[in-house]
Amino acid sequence: MSVVTPAAPETSAPPAAAPGRFVAIGRRVMRKPLGAASVVYLVLLVAACAAASLIAPYGPLAQDLTAVDQGPSAAHLFGTDSLGRDLLSRLLFGGQATLLGVAEAVIVTTVLGVSMGVLSGYVGGWLDRVLARVADVLMSLPSIIILLAVLVLFDQSMLAAMVTFGVLGSTAMFRVVRGVALGLREELYVAAARVCGLSHRRIITRHVLSRAQGPIIVQISLFASVALVVQTGLSYLGLGIQPPAPSWGGMIADAQQVLIGDPWQLVPPGVIVALTVLAFGLLGDSVRDALQEHRAGRGISKAVFREVPSTSSAEDRSTQPSDPDTVLAIRDLTITTTSGPEPRNIVTSMDLDLRQGEILGIVGETGCGKSVTMLAALGLLPSGLAVTSGRVWLSGQEIALGDARHLAGLRGSQIGMVFQEPIPSLDPAFRVGSQLAEVVRAHTSLSRRAARDRVLELLRQVSLTDPAAVAARYPHQLSGGMAQRVAIAIALAGGPRVLIADEPTTALDVSVQAEILDLLRELNSAAGMSIVLVTHDWGVVADICDRAAVLYAGEIVELAPVADLWNRPRHPYTADLMAANPYFAPPGQALRTIPGRVPEPGQRPSGCRYEPRCAVSSPDCAESAVPLTLAGPGAGAFRCRHSERIPHQARSTT
């Protein structure tokens, strides 16, 4: 049963039926003249070579000395060579070894290059550095010399040569895939997948490799062409496949011996090699283009879902919270940069509690540390930042911030997160229902059918009135409000106790903002979910939050119930933020602003960090850091020596 009153519907007609993904891509390839021609040519070539023993008119070594150096005829469609051997038969039998060698090299370079590239780009760190150095070494080796040495060492084994060539050629694939993975690792939907508790293996196979398909296919086609030329070249030199065994390179070498007297012998093997190289390239481009067109035109794809009938003191900062109602507790959290000449604190000694069933607002200007604090609690800090001190507890159990496996077990199932931009947090390559079902199955043992039912239930829970139609859409087909509801549904899929909403209404219009806030309020009241709401908007704080923490330059400057903050701010920054709210601007007068800007990490004052911008400061404010002062039982805390100087006026919170 839905726990949320349905909002106004945001629906459109269900998508029209369409074929499956691979069938649709195959049809797009076949609609392209060059793509269809390359597919037909390669399929016929491979089939003919594989069935050479059945369809070849003669044996590959059969000689007819009465019919040497002949051109095409009824008896010999492609003519004969200087020993009277049938050129068509030798092409078919020679293609077996040639195409097999190409396949061996392609398989090796694809498996090695893709796996190394994905690990290097996605994992990063020391593994990226090691694999990049390995790739540099392989790229610096002279391939031809290495291949000749391998042929000598392994007794002219073409298998060994092509496997070696695949290893040496994997560096190009590695660099392409690594570049794609590096870019995708920073995408918001990958971070969202990690927040939802998906495993790294699942994220790599479904969300990284799926987006790297185009570059991988093009690289495979290019490498297959190069491998064919190398295979042919080695055979031409008499290496690997030894005469009189047929090979395309060997046939070219034989034709070269009689080029002046019988130039025709060069035509069949030369043309077959040229056409095959061209077909590989055209096929790769056609498949890549078909993938792109399929992604761009998926809006009318088949619907696969169907409707079914208090702040602690300095002495105990690092101790476990004693309040049993505390769901999420952060103690002495310091986040520091790891790049640059020296580390700089982004967040300093942060203490924060979230109580059971509470909605806690986090307020402050951009650069004050709101989002990174929440990301640190999830172990999702971006590269270049690290937690250098502090501890975090969830439901009385300490979170091991350095244990990736422990953190992965909490994401999605214990803590969910909704990002500011809903559409970038959804993978554009998959339907909404598919992404939701993926998260559901990651946290439960439900069957596919049961997971689909759960998906529809979640979409109803977030007030989407036509869940089956929404589940069948791709992210680009959703409005901003629908996309944000889907993002919330994904965050709820694992049944978390805590939901972190990072500015969930910023990118939405006013009417949709109200609907999303109503949704969060219903989740809080009906399901008892504790919510951390990161926002710039005091109106949002007054509308939905129980308490609010005001952050400035990486530390809390005030923490209190919303009514107390609203009516009697005790820190100048809180008062200035409220005064700058457009809601309070008198008609016809300029909107108040706060002079200056938030100091950058490494340039923050040693005393009160707000002192350079504060209108009530005194010289003692710049002398030393200001500790948090308790305002009284249940009244929160503030970080100011002159709170009595702050001008204020009572404001209604309704």
Q: What is the pTM of this model?
A: 0.65
User: Average pLDDT, stretch 596-609?
Assistant: 89
**Structural domain includes residue 368:** no
Confidence of residue 311 (pLDDT cuts 50, 70, 90): very low
Nearest to 263 by CA among 79, 479, 44: 79
Query: Is 85 a member of any domain?
Result: yes
Mean pLDDT calculated for residue range 184-206: 79
Q: Is the pLDDT of residue 17 over 60?
A: no
Q: What is the mean pLDDT of residues 255-282?
A: 90
Please tell me the predicted confidence (pLDDT) of residue 566. 85
Is pLDDT above 50 for 475?
yes
Beta-carbon contacts of residue 44 (< 8 Å; ≥ 6 apart): none
Which residue did the predictor score with more confidence, 189 or 300? 189
pLDDT band at 12 (very low <50, low <70, confident <90, very high): very low
Strands 385-394 and 397-399, sheet pairing: antiparallel
In a domain, 523, yes or no: no
Residue 421 is predicted with a pLDDT of 80
pLDDT above 80 for 3: no
Q: Does residue 213 sit within a domain?
A: yes
Mean pLDDT within 9-34: 64
- What was the pLDDT predicted at 267? 92
pLDDT tens, position by position, 487-521: 899 988 888 899 999 888 876 777 788 888 888 98
| Percent of the chain topping pLDDT 90 | 31
Read off the CATH number of the domain in which 209 is found: 1.10.3720.10
- With 0-12 / 13-18 / 19 or more C-beta atoms within 10 angstroms meaning exposed / middle / buried, residue 546 is middle
Q: Residue 520 corresponds to which amino acid?
A: L
pLDDT band at residue 555 under the 50/70/90 scheme: very high
Q: What pLDDT is recorded for position 419?
A: 84
Question: Residue 442 domain-assigned?
Answer: no
pLDDT of residue 448: 87
Cα–Cα dist 597/366, whole Å: 10
Can you give the pLDDT at residue 218? 87
Q: Is residue 270 included in any domain, yes or no?
A: yes
CA dist 437 and 427 (Å) reads: 13
Q: In the listed set 242, 273, 296, which residue is the last one of a domain according to the structure?
A: 296
Give the model's pLDDT for residue 525: 86
> Per mean pLDDT, which range of 192-201, 241-250, 572-581 is the poorest?
192-201
- Does residue 275 lie in a domain region? yes
pLDDT of 578 higher than 90 = no
What is the residue-averaged pLDDT of the chain?
84
Q: How far is CA 643 from the centre of its chain?
A: 46
According to the model, what pLDDT value does residue 244 have? 87
pLDDT, residue 499, reads 93
Q: Is the omega angle on the peptide bond into residue 647 within 30 degrees of 0, that is, cis?
A: no
Domain's final residue, options 280, 296, 312:
296
578, 647 contact by CB (below 8 A): no
Contacts of 337 (CB under 8 A, 6+ apart): 343, 344, 346, 384, 385, 601
So what's the pLDDT on residue 14?
40
Which of 296, 316, 346 is the last residue before a domain boundary? 296
Predicted confidence at residue 64, as pLDDT, reads 85
- Measured in residues, the chain has a length of 654
**Confidence band (pLDDT; 50, 70, 90) for 99?**
very high
Under the banding of pLDDT at 50, 70 and 90, the label for residue 319 is: low
pLDDT at 295: 61
What is the reported pLDDT for 184?
Answer: 78
Residue 531: the pLDDT is 94
Residue 13 has pLDDT above 50, yes or no: no
| pLDDT score of 27 more than 70 | yes
**pLDDT above 80: residue 635:** no
Q: End-to-end distance of the chain based on CA atoms, in angstroms?
A: 31
Q: 267-296 and 21-31 are packed helices; what angle lies between their axes, rounded to 10 degrees?
A: 130
pLDDT higher than threshold 60 for residue 18: no
Q: Tell me how many domains the chain contains.
A: 2
Q: Is the pLDDT of residue 649 over 70?
A: no
Res. 634 pLDDT band, cuts 50 70 90: low
Question: Structural domain of residue 260, as residue ranges?
Answer: 39-296
* 434 assigned to some structural domain: no
- Residue 201, Cβ density class (10 Å: 0-12 exposed, 13-18 middle, ≥19 buried): exposed
Does the pLDDT of residue 334 top 80, yes or no? yes
pLDDT band of 479, cuts 50, 70, 90: confident
- Contact between 649 and 575 under an 8 Å Cβ cutoff? The reply is no
Query: What's phi and psi for 241, nearest 5 deg?
Result: -75, 120
Cα–Cα distance for residue pair 191/425, rounded to 1 Å: 8
